[in-house]
Chains A and B, each alone.
Chain A
Amino acid sequence: MRRGLISWARDEVPPSVLEGRVARLQEQMRNADLGAMLVYTSFARPSAVAWLTHFVPYWNEALLVVFPTGAPVLLAAFSKRVHDWIRSVSHLGEVRSAPDLGRAAAAFLKERPPQPSRIGVLELDALPWSVAEPLVKSEYGALVDATDLFAAIRQPADEVEIRLARRAATIAAQAFKTIPRGAKRASELLSVLERSARLDGAEEVLPRLAPDLRANATLRRFEGDALLGERYAVELSVAYKATWVRFTRCVSTQAVPSSWRSAAERFVETAERLNEANLSLGPQLGPGKPVAWTLETCRGSPPLSIVATGETPSPSALSGGSLACISLQLDLDDGAWLGGAPLILGSRGQPSCLLI
């Protein structure tokens, strides 16, 4: 569940920016003959609705209904008492109570039949059946997948989103600085990371940890505790105002190995060489053998989803100016090394730019 700061500062994300995003979606909808677009949100899949309206559910579910004109309507499975809070943190035309989200959506579409009757659904395949079933059984329009339609307008990132991402990156970087040099246990480490990030205004923090790089480089979610080895790796995914970044850093309790310095330099060089035209090449890294790498971005409802990875042959397209996060694992002579950072992807022939 989300339990960090959720608030909306109008000078940080002006209403006009949100309205502009909705207008771009509406233009796409009109071109595609869609009479309405449905965008599902939960705290696991908050990003599309947040990008359009600044609303992030701390729990529960909601469905955003966008018509070809006018402000979006939120059908929210929250109790009515929460509506004032929803309005205070988001830019919406109307908020309706919808304890049974699917039925409420079907009833709403009966009340305001889409014209034309085709209804686009972002990530239709993934729509929870509890929401989808009443819509499928209703007579108010055919559901069609509108994932590509939304993705077409989602990236590249605008200046507002890049500023939020930089703030998230700064929160993460500051959290890394608080790692105690002599930390012995995972719980001690994770505690200071959480505290720092949340005190700095993070909406959410997802830490994963490989507590002993010499034994295993897999980044794990921790329930319970573990001893930290002499070398360990931390992945910190941080959200600030619904914008997510992901960092990975290796930590040595002894002097930083020279192999790590070299790996970090090459990581930066490789990340900067990436651009919209060479995603299929992946990071051409040395020294060390790349074990795994991923490039992720946000172009739908998940905060980050994979664009390219070393384990699949063909990446999907991502245009220059997109916000993305690169993560990689190297097999060095003296063990595993992990790195990761957010970047703004370069256009064809142009370098990418690491956020911080």
Chain B
Amino acid sequence: MAEEGIDVLVVAGNPWRSDYLRFAADITPVEGHAFAFIDRERPARIIVESPAEAARLRSEQAELDVRWSLSAIEETETAIRELGKRRTAIAPLAAVPYRLAMGPLVTGIARATALLDHLMLRKSASEIEALHRAAVLADEGYAVFRKAARVGRPEYSLVAEVEAFFRSRGCPENFQILGSGGREVRGMHPPTERRLAPGDLVTTELTPCVDGYYAQICRTLVLGEPSEPQERAFAVYNEALEAGVAAVRPGATAGDVARAQNKVFRNHGLGDYVTSEYTRVRGHGLGLYVDARPAVLEDVDLKLEPDMTLIVHPNTYHPEVGYFVHGDSVRVTPDGCEVLTRTPRRLFSVPLA
């Protein structure tokens, strides 16, 4: 803030975009809007929308000055006005509400957002430690998922078992989507009432959050013995994942990591399936937001630096077997990367009996 000439940075957030608030003030809103005034000269001040949220945040951090108002946005506007001539900025673009952006701070939103984005990209030692613990939990969570995946169970019951496990480990937040079935499955989604059937590929992307930091694992299992096409498909995705992980090193770009994965698909005649028609990204950053920067796509030229964290996942549709996922969380190290998740890279088979 000093370098940017900012005296007070107002950070906006809500349960959907809580990452910037967590970074700046170590708070996670559960309901409603929240605003943190990060002041170079004073402890942080917080404005939230309900007395329950205010009491909760005070109990979590006694030193915080927390106020609440049913009109939290208006209250924040007033508080900004009261800052007078102090140099004030507001961020992030994704969470600053219209009313606050329509005021005099509008011109600085992009710059203040970039400041926070830059700070959040490379992780500190304590952030890396949280990501390590989240990765351990991701591995354990996937073991619970595998155990829960049985013929006849509805998709949502698998997530219930995983969530119960995460709660038993003190983890309140997880991003998880899944898919089940065969060639007709084109992606993953929140769990439905569909019941698992013999021969299904069951995919999941499972992302527990520890101290605010998300680590992700992607794996695919088969209910019963894998078919030959399923085994062949797995070999391609595994080769692509290995190629992607091998490309992660300081100086390489996110685009390089995407190209390394996509090249494997192209070599196997599956180049059509690395386009946006069939897949979104070949990985993404991990941190306080589940889908953080950088997006791992061929046209992203952001250079990797030590202590950035990301998931490498060549997830896409396969024309013979359906949607298939396979991915690991990694940390960029000075000479390559450390793979954080440890679940074996296998096409897991769950016995039908």
Contacts and interface: CB of A to CB of B under 8 A. Distances in A.
Interface string B150-185: 000000110111011101111111111100000000
12 contacts: A4-B159, A7-B193, A80-B277, A124-B98, A126-B97, A129-B94, A129-B97, A187-B170, A193-B167, A194-B164, A309-B51, A327-B52
B165 A129 contact: no
A312 B170 contact: no
B45 interface: no
A92 B164 CA distance: 34
Closest 3 CB pairs of A and B: A198-B160, A195-B164, A125-B99
A84 interface: yes
A71 interface: no
Interface string A34-48: 000000001111000
Interface of A: 1-7, 42-45, 58-59, 61, 79-82, 84-85, 124-130, 132-133, 136, 186-188, 190-195, 198-199, 201, 205-206, 208, 216, 218-225, 292, 294, 302-306, 309, 311-312, 327
Contacts of B192: 5-7
Given A81-B278, A129-B96, A187-B170, A219 B56 contact: yes
Contacts of B33: 126
A59 B50 contact: no
Given A129-B101, A195-B163, A4 B156 contact: yes
B94 A130 contact: yes
Interface majority SS on A: helix, strand, loop or mixed?
mixed
Nearest to B186: A81
A128 B95 contact: yes
Contacts of A206: 30-31
Contacts of A312: 70
B177 A58 contact: yes
A119 to B, nearest CB: 13
Given A126-B98, A220-B59, A306-B70, 8 more contacts: A1-B176, A5-B192, A80-B276, A81-B187, A126-B97, A128-B93, A190-B168, A194-B160
A4 B28 contact: no
B72 to A, nearest CB: 9
Contact of B167 (A126, A190, A216, A292): A190
A223 B170 contact: yes
Contacts of B17: 128
A61 B93 CA distance: 14
Contacts of B49: 305-306
Contact of A198 (B94, B96, B163, B291): B163
A126 B73 contact: yes
A218 B59 contact: yes
Contacts of B14: 42, 44-45
A187 B93 CA distance: 35
B101 A221 contact: no
Nearest to B163: A194
Contacts of A3: 159, 163, 174-177, 190-191
Given A5-B191, A219-B52, A224 B276 contact: no
Contacts of B73: 125-126
A136 B99 CA distance: 12
A1 B109 contact: no
B266 interface: no
Contacts of B96: 128-129
B98 A125 contact: yes
Given A187-B168, A224-B170, A44 B59 contact: no
B31 A42 contact: no
Contact of B30 (A5, A208, A327): A208
B159 A294 contact: no
Contact of A194 (B167, B189, B317): B167
B93 to A, nearest CB: 5
Contacts of B28: 221
A187 B157 CA distance: 20
